[in-house]
Each structure stands twice: as C-alpha cells, then as structure tokens.
Amino acid sequence: MGTAAKTKHTEDYAKAPINQKLTAEEKLKLLRGMIRVRRFEIEALRQYNGGKMGGFLHLYNGQESVAVGACSLMGDDDHVITAYRDHGHALAVGMHMNECMAELFGKATGCSKGKGGSMHFFAPDKNYWGGHGIVGGQTPLGLGLAYGLKYKGLKGAALCFLGDGAVNQGCFYESLNMAALFQLPVIYCIENNKYSMGTSLQRSSVIEHCLAQRAEAFCIDWAQAGGEDIYEVRAVTQKAIERAHNESKPTVLEFDTYRYYGHSVADAKHKGGYRKEDEIEKFKRDHDPIQVFKRRLIEEKLLTEEQYEAIDEESKAEAAAAAVFAEESPIPSEASIFEDVYFEVDRQTEAGRTGKHFFND
C-alpha cells in the first residue's frame, strides 16, 4: 500500500465488490443503522440535559458511517473493540437501544447492569468487547483479541477503533510493533474527527500525509479513506479484513470523519471556541454520512424521501421508547455493588468461598 494508499476520494466505492454484492434491503439496513445511531444519540442528549444520567456523554453524531460500515462486514469470528465514544459501535454490532439507554440511566437493565455507564458498553455474545475509557488503553486489548483468534486457529479479525488523539499514546506503538512481529489479524481503525478533546490535529500530531502513515514505521499496510461515504468505509475495511483472514496480517486504517458535538457534552468550547461554528455547519451540510448515503440511495432509486422519513420516524420512536424503558427500569440493588467483581465469588465456587474478598467490615 504505502503512500499510494492516500486516496483522493474520487473512486466510486459503490462499485467495490463488497458493495456490489449488497441487496437493496441490505443497503437500506445500512442507512437504517446509521439513522438509529443518530436518533439514539439525540435522545441520549435530550435525556442527559433532562438530568437523567451522570458523568460523561461522548456523542457519535457525524461519525455513524464508520462504525456502521465497518461492523456490517463482521463474520462469526470477527471482533470489535473501541474507546469511550462507543454507542455507535454498540448499536452497529446489534445491541438493543433499551439496554444501551438503560446503561446510560444507570439502571439494572443496562447492558452492564448500570456498572459501566456511557463509556463502557459490552456485548461479548456479539463479539463486542467495549467500550474503554482510557484513551488508547484498548489498543493492546485489540491486539490480544487478535492473538486469541490466531492462537485458537480461527479465521477472524479484531477491529480495534481509536480516535486521532489516541495515536499519540505509547501503548499503541508497542501494539503495532507486536502486531507486525507476531503477524496478528488486528485492524486498527483510526476515526480521525480532527480533535483530541479541545486540541486540533495540527496542534497534537506531527503529520506528513496522514496518521495511518505512521504504520509504515512497523511495515504494516495502511490506508487513509474518507469516512463520510459508507461504501468507502466498507470497501477499505473489507480489504483489511481479507488481509487479516487470509494472511493473518495487521492493517492500520484512518477514516476522515467529524463529530458534531463536543468531546463530551461537558465540552462547552467546541462551538466557537476551539473550532468555528461554520466549520461544524459545513460538515453537517456537505459531509453528513447519513445525507450522503441518502442521496446515493435516492440516485440508485432504492429510496424515496417518504421512506427515508419513515425510517427516521421509526428510529426516533425506538429511541424514545428506549428512554421510557430506561426510565421505568429499576436502579441496581445495593447488594449488586459487590456482584461481578470476582467470578469465583459470584459463582460461590470453593475459591470464591475461601478467604475474605471484600473489606468493608
């Protein structure tokens, strides 16, 4: 790949084999997937502002095509792990809005029983390993998932998402070295939304062509791609998945994308502070992944404006219903504070019954 991998985004990725295979129904499912993420986030923000949840809320609006596109390619032995902006990936792998919204509300019906919160969604039954709060901290775990796949002799890939800020964490480079050294089927997907919290890309990273290019230092194949076109995301990711499956080799991908909201909702300076308001508006107007794909599907005569509205309304209703579900769900019991700490204690195995594990009294 090398530097040639820096694309000019002129190719029609609809013609990529992986996209040509898509049925009309599957294309609409991709659109619906992105809209569901958008509507979930909008409802989450509404509920956050209504005081229904605590802590941080890192919204994914604007980046939907990356998670939905990449996760749409997953086979039985492909796995996903990401950082704290994890709602989009969670819904993309098939998690239900109810369990996700309930987790935000800190309820017992949440995917992590109210113990993880916004940054820590998990669904190992759907090959989704979180949801990790420490920037870059998930990159060695993604390496480990790939290691486990190879060790077990499975033909799979570990898709490890990270932001443009995470590329400056040391453990990411240690992981790249080991991924290449051990020939592990890990795909690092950098979602470059241009800001590591309030610090712009230009102020945080040394760049010649792009961030993914840093993979060259480790002799790892890489590609930089536009993130707004879900066809492009799928085409580029598919190549990396094939490399992982067939050659057991790592890849570093970088997707140009953009977040409409702040680093988290507590980021008051994102609008008119560290970035100009017209920059946000420009992305929304010209590069919105949902609108880009909507236009494509209308061009392809697979979608009408009415159908689009219907999908949007359904997703909106689903998100609203999830908020009702979350609201009506019970808070976790006080006793549950001590559950899920130790496997052996939870199962009351002999090991779990031996010695004192908790030191409250």
Partner 1 sequence: MPLIEYRDALNQAFAEEIERDPNVVLIGEEVAQYDGAYKVTKGLWKKFGDKRVVDTPISEAAFIGMGIGAAMLGLRPVMELMFWSFATVAYDQIVNNAGQIRYMSGGLINCPIVIRGPANGGTSVGATHSHTPENWLAAIPGLKVVSAATAYDAKGLMKTAIRDNDPVMFMENTLLYGEKGEVPEEEYLIPLGKADVKREGTDITLIAHGRAALTALKAAELLAAEHDINAEVIDLRSIRPLDEDAILASVRKTHRAVCIEENKPFCGVGAQIAAMISEKAFDELDAPVLRVSALDAPAIYSPKLEARQLPRPTDIVEKVLSIC
Least Å distance, CB 154 to partner 1, is 9
Tokens of 282: 């420009």
User: Does 289 engage in binding with partner 1 (CB under 8 A)?
Assistant: no
State the minimum distance, in angstroms, from the CB of residue 169 to partner 1.
Answer: 9
* Nearer to partner 1 among residue 246 and residue 349 (C-beta): 349
Length of the chain: 361
CA of 110: how far to CAs of 91, 114, 248, in Å? Answer: 14, 5, 35
Specify the stretch interacting with partner 1 by CB under 8 A; choose among 34-42, 64-72, 88-96, 351-359.
351-359
The residue within the footprint of partner 1, chosen from 145, 162, 187, 297 (CB under 8 A), is 145
CB of 152 or CB of 301, closer to partner 1:
152
Q: Using CA atoms, how far apart are residues 58 and 89, in angstroms rounded to an integer?
A: 13
| 149 binds partner 1 per the rule CB under 8 A | yes
Residue 183 tokens, joined: 């020939």
226 cis-preceded (ω within 30 degrees of 0): no
- The answer to whether 240 and 157 are in contact (CB under 8 A) is yes
Q: How far is the C-alpha of 256 from the C-alpha of 233, rounded, in Å?
A: 10
Q: Is 350 in the site for partner 1 (CB under 8 A)?
A: yes
Q: Which of 22, 133, 194, 298 binds partner 1 (CB under 8 A)?
A: 133
Q: Whole-number minimum distance, CB 211 to partner 1, in Å? A: 19
CB 79 within 8 A of CB 129: yes
Neighbours of 143 (CB within 10 A): 26
Query: Does position 219 bind partner 1 by CB under 8 A?
Result: no
Q: Distance (Å, rounded) from C-alpha 114 to C-alpha 127?
A: 20
Residue 97: CB minimum distance to partner 1, A: 17
Dihedral angle of Cα 281, 286, 291, 295, to the nearest 10 degrees: 150
Task: Return the range that interacts with partner 1 (CB under 8 A); candidates 12-20, 220-228, 286-294, 333-341.
Answer: 333-341
**Can you tell me which residue has the tokens 């598919």?**
238
Written as six digits, the tokens of 216 are 């060259």
Which of the residues 70 through 99 are near partner 1 (CB under 8 A)? 79, 81
* 335 lies in the binding site for partner 1 (CB under 8 A): no
- Of the candidates 24, 181, 219, 268, which one interacts with partner 1 according to CB under 8 A? 181
Select from 324, 293, 304, 337 the least CA-distant residue to 14.
293
Q: By CB under 8 A, is residue 354 in contact with partner 1?
A: yes
**Binding residue (CB under 8 A) for partner 1 from 96, 115, 194, 209:** 115
Indicate the residue among 62 and 136 with the shorter CB distance to partner 1.
136
**Of residues 85, 132, 287, 296, which one binds partner 1 by CB under 8 A?**
132
Nearer of residues 66 and 123 to partner 1, judged by Cβ: 123
Tell me the C-alpha distance between 63 and 294, whole Å: 15
116 binding partner 1? (CB under 8 A): yes
Q: How far is the CB of 124 from partner 1 (least distance, A)?
A: 5
Closer CB to partner 1, residue 92 or residue 146?
146
Provide the token pair at 132: 């990790």
**CB-count exposure of residue 58 (10 Å: 0-12, 13-18, 19+):** buried
Please give the backbone phi and psi of residue 163, each rounded to the nearest 5 degrees, phi first. -90, 175
Q: Which amino acid is at 21?
A: K
Measured from the CB atom, the residue of 23 and 348 that comes closer to partner 1 is 348
Residue in 88, 130, 250, 262 binding partner 1, rule: CB under 8 A: 130
Region of residue 207 (phi > 0: left; psi between -120 and 50: alpha; otherwise: beta): beta
For the bound state, the minimum distance from the C-beta of residue 247 to partner 1, rounded and expressed in Å, comes to: 19
Residues near partner 1 (CB under 8 A) = 79, 81, 110-116, 120, 122-125, 129-134, 137, 139-149, 151-152, 158, 170-171, 174-175, 177-178, 181, 339-344, 346, 350-351, 354-359, 361
